[in-house]
Amino acid sequence: MFEGAEHSENTTHKSSAPGLSLESRRSFLAVLLGLGSVSVGTLLSVPLVRFALFPLLRRTTDLKESPVGALTEFSSLTEPVLRTIQIEQVDGWRKAVSEKAVYVTRDNQGRLRALTSICPHLGCTVPWNKEKNQFACPCHGAIFAADGTRVSGPSLRGMDTLETSVRDGQLLVRFQYFRQLVADKEIIG
Ligand code: FES
């Protein structure tokens, strides 16, 4: 009985002698399998992570140009006119279309200029005062000339100009937001 068992033990030992033991091979395969699973998992998670972070990593908004009107409508412009434009904003996955009020006026060289109606002081909408021939903010009394330059009041700068271009006889404007309460125009979106 004892001899037989000894014989069996010797036989088993002889069959695993040339390479790794069965246990070592099992451990090696387990490590290999584990590494494979981690690699596949990592590869699969990359697009999922990018998908989840897209709204955070994407630039908040990229505003396109909006049509304001035909150039001919502004050829005899003598004072600022208020126009409403539609702007498309992309915020992560959300796309929103909103309306903004802009003024079309002339600079001191007589060229067309677009101004945002948002007061650079604290953001109130600035109306044009036809009788006084000036912009007068109702909130804290900032006064601006017809071309948007600062005249008086708490605002540290004039009304903000917007980028304009002409395409197919249409005046286009790129709406943007600017930092308030600072002396220099600074785009924030
Ligand atoms: S918001 Fe226009 S003067 Fe203050």
Percent of the chain with pLDDT over 70: 77
72: left (phi over 0), alpha (psi -120 to 50) or beta: alpha
139 lines ligand 1 (CB under 6 A): yes
CA dihedral 136, 138, 141, 142 (to 10 degrees): -50
Mean pLDDT of the chain: 83
Any ligand 1 atom below 6 A from CB of 145: no
Q: By alpha-carbon position, which residue is closest to atom 1 of ligand 1?
A: 122
Q: Which residues of the chain have pLDDT under 70?
A: 1-20, 41-62
Nearest CA to ligand 1 atom 4: 140
Quick check: CB of 121 below 6 Å from ligand 1? yes
Q: Is the CB of 153 under 6 A from ligand 1?
A: yes
Structure tokens at 144: 């601006």
Query: Does pTM top 0.85 for this prediction?
Result: no
